[in-house]
């Protein structure tokens, strides 16, 4: 196949880990006979420095012409002021919205080697294999927001949270379709005892699941209870579906089950067939941030980005065999002890970012 992919390395360790993602993608292309036409563009802090905005028009144009986007990370101390008019995060939120990437998939699986890195007791982690499907273009993130003055001379601020039936239906369908390929269980997370958006969420979810996915088990859970159960009995979860902000918070919590943030990939998907192509537009990125403290040292773990490349192959290009080849190569690299400091055992010499990327690329084989 021939696919066009835009790389957005971004800030901090972004460029280092994206370089390794690209290396693995090239290895896949070579061995499986595909052409991946790679382009690169600016996003986040580096874009602010170069052209004064976190999401330049040129970047958006390139992404729109692509089959998929591979992103590193945005942000850093230089652009950290939350009151600044231009901020790196605007690049991320802007691209999600502009490309219609409403479904954010964040899988949490655990290599046995990482059990020791998790703050949880090993027996709690047995069998953890869950995926959070977070709604990504609605809710409080994108509602009207603003400031007012109060009669006493103080200030007030507001952020509106809105969800429509159509927005809920499409994310629930994405989650249930995934569950069908897994353990056929969906946990829908809301705050229906307090929020009106959550009450709509719950009734739409119940209807869609009953009418379209009778073979998939549905449970509803309040978000505070979910935060607790993720720690108490994480292996009970299969697919969790939830709104934008709950998903943001729960996925940081869930990432700790896996020990290192350096291992977790993510996929943000648009509607299938949205572009009139056979591919599904998606943006793929590690869930970790730009880690400015270790940037440029060659010690960042590239596996989350490389696993994001596997998700790209699977969800945007429909290349399941190739996706598995990458995941297997990652697994073998870990087994062979070629890992960065964040997951290396105390008696092991840590490998560099490029060592790990090269080792995975070398292990990509046509199975
Ligand atoms: C995430 C991040 C972003 C979000 C920030 C950087 C805007 O926390 O992808 O989870 O809140 O969505
Ligand atoms: Mg977050």
Specify whether 193 is located in the same domain as 209.
yes
Specify whether 90 is located in the same domain as 189.
no
Specify whether 134 is located in the same domain as 251.
yes
Q: What's the CA-to-centroid distance between 160 and ligand 1, angstroms?
A: 18
Query: Helix H segments across 163-319?
Result: 165-180, 196-212, 223-232, 244-255, 303-311
Q: What's the CA-to-centroid distance between 290 and ligand 1, angstroms?
A: 12
| Residue 284 pLDDT class (50, 70, 90 cuts) | very high
CB-count exposure of residue 155 (10 Å: 0-12, 13-18, 19+): exposed
The ligand 1 atom at the shortest distance from the C-alpha of residue 266 is 9
The answer to whether residue 122 scores a pLDDT higher than 60 is yes
Q: What's the CA-to-centroid distance between 95 and ligand 2, angstroms?
A: 15
The answer to whether residue 253 scores a pLDDT higher than 90 is yes
At a CB cut-off of 8 Å and minimum separation 6, what does 223 contact? 189, 190, 191, 242, 246, 249, 250
* Phi, psi dihedrals of residue 316, rounded to the nearest 5°: -90, -35
The ligand 1 atom at the shortest distance from the C-alpha of residue 104 is 9
Average pLDDT over residues 5-28: 98
Ligand closest to the CA atom of residue 290: 1
Q: What's the CA-to-centroid distance between 340 and ligand 2, angstroms?
A: 23
The answer to whether residue 275 scores a pLDDT higher than 60 is no
| Residue 21 pLDDT class (50, 70, 90 cuts) | very high
| Residue 115 pLDDT class (50, 70, 90 cuts) | confident
Q: Ligand 1, atom 2: nearest CA belongs to which residue? A: 248
Give the CATH number of the domain where residue 245 resides.
Answer: 3.40.718.10
At a CB cut-off of 8 Å and minimum separation 6, what does 280 contact? 269, 270, 271, 272, 273, 274, 315, 316, 318
CA distances 69 to 18, 262, 270, 349, 367, Å, are 11, 19, 12, 33, 26
DSSP track, 125-190: HTT-EEEEEEE-SSGGGTS-EEEEE-TTS-EEEEE-----HHHHHHHHHHHHHHHHTTTSEEEEEE
Q: What's the whole-model pTM score?
A: 0.94
| Residue 367 pLDDT class (50, 70, 90 cuts) | confident
Domain boundary among 236, 258, 280: 258
Ligand 1 lined by 204 (C-beta under 6 Å)? no
Share of the chain above pLDDT 90, in %: 87
Number of separate domains in the chain:
2
Specify whether 127 is located in the same domain as 200.
yes
Specify whether 163 is located in the same domain as 209.
yes
Ligand closest to the CA atom of residue 252: 2
pLDDT of residue 278: 65
Ligand 1 lined by 192 (C-beta under 6 Å)? no
As annotated, the active-site residues are 141, 191, 224, 248, 252
Ligand 1 lined by 89 (C-beta under 6 Å)? yes
Specify whether 227 is located in the same domain as 319.
no
Domain boundary among 234, 258, 282: 258
Average pLDDT over residues 141-149: 97
The answer to whether residue 274 scores a pLDDT higher than 60 is no
Q: What's the CA-to-centroid distance between 273 and ligand 2, angstroms?
A: 27
The ligand 1 atom at the shortest distance from the C-alpha of residue 75 is 6
CB-count exposure of residue 66 (10 Å: 0-12, 13-18, 19+): buried
Domain boundary among 222, 238, 258: 258
Q: Ligand 1, atom 7: nearest CA belongs to which residue? A: 89
Domain span at 361: 1-110+265-367
Share of the chain above pLDDT 70, in %: 98
The ligand 1 atom at the shortest distance from the C-alpha of residue 248 is 10
Specify whether 254 is located in the same domain as 272.
no
Specify whether 23 is located in the same domain as 81.
yes
Specify whether 254 is located in the same domain as 287.
no
Q: What is the pLDDT of residues 220-229, one digit of tens each?
A: 999 999 999 9
Average pLDDT over residues 261-274: 88
Specify whether 123 is located in the same domain as 254.
yes
Q: What is the pLDDT of residues 25-67, one digit of tens each?
A: 999 999 999 999 999 999 999 999 999 999 999 999 999 999 9
Instruction: Sheet containing 239-242: give its strands across.
Output: 35-40, 2-10, 68-73, 282-286, 265-269, 103-109, 129-135, 239-242, 185-190, 217-222
Specify whether 98 is located in the same domain as 125.
no
Taking CA 249 as the corner, what is the angle to CA 303 and CA 345, rounded to the nearest 5 degrees?
35
Ligand 1 lined by 248 (C-beta under 6 Å)? yes
Q: Ligand 1, atom 10: nearest CA belongs to which residue? A: 248
Burial 13-44 (b: 16+ CB within 10 A, else e): bbbbbbbbbbbbbebbbeebebebebeebbbb
SS3 85: coil
The ligand 1 atom at the shortest distance from the C-alpha of residue 74 is 6
Specify whether 16 is located in the same domain as 53.
yes
Ligand 1 lined by 253 (C-beta under 6 Å)? no
């Amino acid at each position: 196949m021939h696919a066009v992919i835009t790389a957005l390395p971004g800030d901090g360790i972004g460029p280092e880990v994206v370089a390794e993602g690209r290396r693995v993608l090239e290895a896949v292309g070579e061995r499986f006979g595909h052409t991946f036409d790679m382009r690169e563009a600016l996003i986040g802090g580096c874009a602010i420095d170069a052209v004064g905005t976190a999401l330049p028009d040129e970047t958006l144009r390139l992404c729109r012409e692509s089959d998929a986007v591979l992103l590193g990370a945005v942000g850093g101390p230089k652009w950290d002021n939350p009151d600044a008019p231009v901020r790196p995060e605007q690049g991320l939120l802007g691209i999600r919205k502009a490309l219609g990437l409403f479904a954010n998939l964040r899988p949490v699986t655990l290599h046995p080697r990482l059990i020791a890195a998790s703050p949880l007791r090993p027996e709690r982690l047995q069998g953890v294999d869950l995926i959070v499907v977070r709604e990504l273009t609605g809710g409080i993130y994108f509602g009207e927001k603003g400031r007012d003055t109060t009669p006493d001379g103080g200030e007030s601020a507001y952020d509106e949270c809105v969800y429509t039936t159509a927005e809920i239906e499409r994310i629930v369908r994405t989650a249930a379709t995934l569950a069908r390929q897994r353990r056929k269980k969906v946990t829908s997370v809301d705050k229906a005892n307090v929020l009106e958006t959550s009450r709509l969420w719950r009734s739409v979810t119940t209807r869609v699941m009953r009418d379209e996915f009778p073979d998939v088990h549905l449970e509803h859970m309040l978000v505070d209870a979910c935060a607790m159960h993720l720690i108490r009995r994480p292996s009970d979860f299969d697919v969790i579906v939830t709104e934008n902000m709950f998903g943001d918070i729960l996925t940081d919590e869930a990432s700790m089950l896996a020990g290192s943030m350096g291992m977790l990939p993510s996929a943000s998907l648009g509607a299938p067939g949205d572009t009139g192509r056979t591919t599904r537009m998606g943006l793929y990125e590690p869930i970790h941030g730009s880690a400015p403290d270790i940037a440029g040292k060659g010690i960042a773990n590239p596996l989350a980005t490389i696993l994001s490349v596997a998700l790209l192959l699977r969800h945007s290009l429909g290349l399941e065999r190739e996706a598995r080849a990458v995941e297997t190569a990652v697994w073998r690299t870990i087994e062979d002890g070629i890992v960065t400091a964040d997951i290396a055992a105390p008696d092991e010499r840590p490998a560099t970012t490029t060592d790990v990327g090269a080792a995975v690329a070398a292990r990509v084989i046509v199975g």
